[in-house]
A = this chain, B = another copy of it.
């Protein structure tokens, strides 16, 4: 069993209204030191097998096909 974590974040320059809303809410709660917040997604994926190279290739394909919108998002894969 291989466990991987895929992190999908918005590319720099892409507007993040959700992050801005969180930034405003933190500020309203008294966290005045917060300069910027950007929100992303994380996927914890368990895969059958033990071939890490194969898993890495499959995870990259999953990101390209489903998990990330590569026009506006970056992804990072960590195999744990």
Contact = CB atoms under 8 A, between A and B. Distances in A.
A36 interface: yes
Copies of this subunit: 2
A79 to B, nearest CB: 13
Contact size class for A? 20 to 34
A78 to B, nearest CB: 11
Smallest CB-CB A-B distances: 3 pairs: A36-B46, A40-B42, A35-B46
Given A22-B67, A40-B41, 4 more contacts: A1-B35, A36-B46, A39-B42, A39-B43
Interface of A: 1, 7, 9, 19, 22, 25-26, 29, 31, 33-49, 55, 58, 61-62, 65-67
